[in-house]
Amino acid sequence: MASVIASFSQELAAAAEQSGSSVVAIHARHRVPSSGIHWRKGVLVTANHAVRREDDITVLVHGGKRVSAKLAGRDAGTDLALLKFDQDAGVAIPQFGDAANLKLANFVLALGRTRFGNLVASAGIIGGLGGEWRTWRGGRIEQSIRLDLALYPGFSGGPLVNGEGKVLGLNTNGFGRGRAVTIPVATVNRVVDELLDKGYIARPYLGIAMQPVAVPEALRSKLKSSAAGGLMVLHVEPGGPADKAGIVLGDVIVELQGKPALDTEYIQDLLASAKVNEKIRTTVIRGGSPLELSITLGERPAK
């Protein structure tokens, strides 16, 4: 038994060493730095919530060398930020694994670096797995990976590593509720591609504020879906997608893409899977009669 434990211990140490040279400490906020990963040549990724300033960002790399970095893009929706730095700083790019092959209770390591540049680790298991999900900020995450391990201060932005030393994703506790989760490699790659291209993530929007209301029974028979409720328009953004489509204050949106629009959660789900410039078939009640409109989704202004 002792030899088995010793062998397992050595395998974990080797896995941490293999991926550890790609892990950096990023000083972009007061006192506690975040961790980061050299994802592509000259490109670092870290947790967006830990990047509090956009200038004077320093990075402590493997071996204790300090280099400067510039913010190249960020996305609060997926809690990812992208930095560019001197690609000749001697930081390795890790091997990546496929998080889709993870199983519940697989043993994993979370890696990070301290403010002094020391590599640190936290061990645990995969506490939960699921399919695609959407964060409360609207970001789409391809796979739900919940961790049963401690993400200590400064660990956010560091990698989740399997027993083979391959990076499965980026760890963060930035979504609140004390949850340690991993953003899988597939999501990070998608976001990095768009951030390198635009500096932000393009997300569609309608440009209206709404609240749920009941639809009078006499009107339900006039609707294809016989919807019992809808969303009353309380505000229309001037020049926004809904305004351009002819939506006005007081309209009650009852159907989108042929399905009942009963609450704002349905709107959020629809927008999460939709694309900019996509046309949305919309039915509203105006003056007691249904009216068919088409809204072309616009790109939400970058903040």
Residue-wise pLDDT tens digits, 105-127: 999 999 999 999 999 999 999 99
Query: Choosing from 49, 62, 75, 122, which is the catalytic residue?
Result: 49
Whether 252 shows a pLDDT value over 90: the answer reads yes
The token duo for 176 is 């609140």
Q: Indicate whether this model's pTM tops 0.75.
A: yes
Q: Helix and strand tally (H, E) in the chain? A: 5, 22
Q: Which CATH architecture has domain 204-299?
A: Roll (2.30)
Q: How confident is the model at residue 2 (pLDDT cuts 50, 70, 90)?
A: confident
Q: Which residues pair with 71 in a beta bridge?
A: 83
**Lowest model confidence (mean pLDDT) among 111-115, 243-247, 260-264, 271-275:** 271-275
What is the structure's pLDDT at 122? 97
**Lowest model confidence (mean pLDDT) among 45-49, 230-234, 254-258, 299-303:** 299-303
Whether 181 shows a pLDDT value over 90: the answer reads yes
What is the structure's pLDDT at 235? 96
Task: Please state, for a pLDDT cut of 70, what percent of the chain lies above it.
Answer: 98
Q: Is 79 a catalytic residue?
A: yes
Distances (CA, A) of 4 to 13, 122, 276: 14, 21, 55
User: What is the Cα Rg of the chain in Å?
Assistant: 23
- What top-level class would CATH report for the domain 2-198? mainly beta
Task: Please state, for a pLDDT cut of 90, what percent of the chain lies above it.
Answer: 71
For residue 182, the one-letter residue type is T
Separation between Cα atoms, residue 5 and residue 28, nearest integer Å: 39
What is the structure's pLDDT at 68? 94
**283: exposed, middle or buried (Cβ count in 10 Å: 0-12, 13-18, 19+):** buried
Separation between Cα atoms, residue 255 and residue 281, nearest integer Å: 8
Residue 211 backbone phi and psi in degrees, to 5: -145, 145
Query: Choosing from 19, 79, 122, 251, which is the catalytic residue?
Result: 79
What is the structure's pLDDT at 303? 55
Domain with CATH 2.40.10.120 in the chain: 2-198
Separation between Cα atoms, residue 95 and residue 40, nearest integer Å: 11
Domain with CATH 2.30.42.10 in the chain: 204-299
Whether 20 shows a pLDDT value over 70: the answer reads yes
- Supply the mean pLDDT for the chain: 92
Q: Is 49 a catalytic residue?
A: yes
Question: Is the Cβ–Cβ distance between 274 and 281 less than 8 Å?
Answer: no
